[in-house]
Amino acid sequence: MKSTRIVLASRPIGMPEQENFRTETVELEPPKPGQALLQTLYLSLDPYMRGRMSDAPSYAPPVEVDQTMCGGTVSQVLESTDPALRSGDIVLGYGGWQTHSVEWVAGLQKLDPALAPLTTALGVLGMPGLTAYSGLLTIGKPQPGETVVVAAATGPVGATVGQIAKIKGARAVGIAGGPEKVALLRERFGFDAAIDHRAPDFAEQLAAATPDGIDVYFENVGGAVFDAVLPRLNQYARIPVCGLIANYNDTDLPPGPDRLPLIMSAILRRSLTVRGFIVSEFMNQAAEFIPAAAQWLAEGKLTYLEDVVDGLDHTVESFQGLLTGKNRGKLVIKVSE
């Protein structure tokens, strides 16, 4: 069996470019006992992949140069050496940027195609959904009537954060890039207020949208959004630090004065809780999250938006778009039928 795959050809400096990747077709080894041969149906593209392209110290090892780029996948089993899976089964795995893969059956999760569209296993019912659920409820702890603010709010993490905040009785303020996404926040996801972080008067708009201050800031982006949020944070505000996408392509610290004393004194004077997390810490919450989210979906309390791009050959440009806000919802590559 041959697999067409995209490998990391060199480590990007700044925005990843096409020349940092190489497409090649290789012969796969037949599956060993305990392994299965899979055909990729859908590949998830996620911001964390920018970190895997770098060899800077991180919470997970980098993808090595000349190795297949990593990524979550929904695949069909073509051949299995383990009775737990049969040919034709659909599984959630970690096949990476390629058309076929050989994976350990123990690391695969069988999906029921009748339960929900398969792509949701990569988005609202998958890793990004759990990230939103655990980060918001375990660290953010929103209370009825409190104000929750989240950016990248049309994406799978942000949109889910805003909607769970509403389910818990909080007021949800969403931040996104451009008028089309801002309209989505209000009309599709039901945010109480929606703001464009690219607007020249963004900080003033945020102040007007948070008249009672901010009790939970779910940090997805950092950068200029954090600057506008900091003065609005209330006493005892909670800040789950989930992602800092505004900085993922940075090659150096930004110029300007040292702002650490400003940030630390805000943490001190306003008794802020700032707590970073990686979703893997909360994998034990998946068993409560999936049925809860499935029920909210069925009740119409939770909705999702997916941006499905056809063809593995569009993966690199789609990933660039994720880092610049071109995606509209959870970005997924449809690799095969």
Q: Please report, as residue ranges, which positions from 231 to 260 form the binding site for ligand NDP (by CB under 6 A).
A: 242-243, 245-246
| 331 CB-near residues (< 8 Å, 6+ apart) | 44, 45, 46, 307, 309, 318, 319, 321, 322
Q: How far is the CB of 9 from ligand NDP (least distance, A)?
A: 23
Helix locations, the chain, DSSP H: 48-52, 127-134, 156-167, 179-187, 202-209, 223-229, 260-269, 286-298, 315-324
| 274 CB-near residues (< 8 Å, 6+ apart) | 239, 241, 267
Among residues 40, 98, 131, 210, the one that binds ligand NDP under rule CB under 6 A: 131
Among residues 52, 100, 181, 232, the one that binds ligand NDP under rule CB under 6 A: 181
Q: By CB under 6 A, is residue 177 in contact with ligand NDP?
A: yes
| 306 CB-near residues (< 8 Å, 6+ apart) | 119, 123, 329, 330, 332
Q: By CB under 6 A, is residue 197 in contact with ligand NDP?
A: yes
Number of residues located near ligand NDP, criterion CB under 6 A: 31
Q: By CB under 6 A, is residue 327 in contact with ligand NDP?
A: yes
Q: How far is the CB of 91 from ligand NDP (least distance, A)?
A: 21
Could you say which DSSP state residue 62 is in?
P
Q: Please report, as residue ranges, which positions from 18 to 47 form the binding site for ligand NDP (by CB under 6 A).
A: 46-47
Q: How far is the CB of 298 from ligand NDP (least distance, A)?
A: 22
Cβ pair 85, 31 in contact under 8 A: no
> In the chain, how many H helices and how many E strands?
9, 15
Q: By CB under 6 A, is residue 129 in contact with ligand NDP?
A: no
Q: Which residues bind ligand NDP (CB under 6 A)?
A: 46-48, 128, 131, 151-152, 154-158, 176-177, 181, 197, 220-221, 223, 225, 242-243, 245-246, 277-279, 322, 325, 327, 331
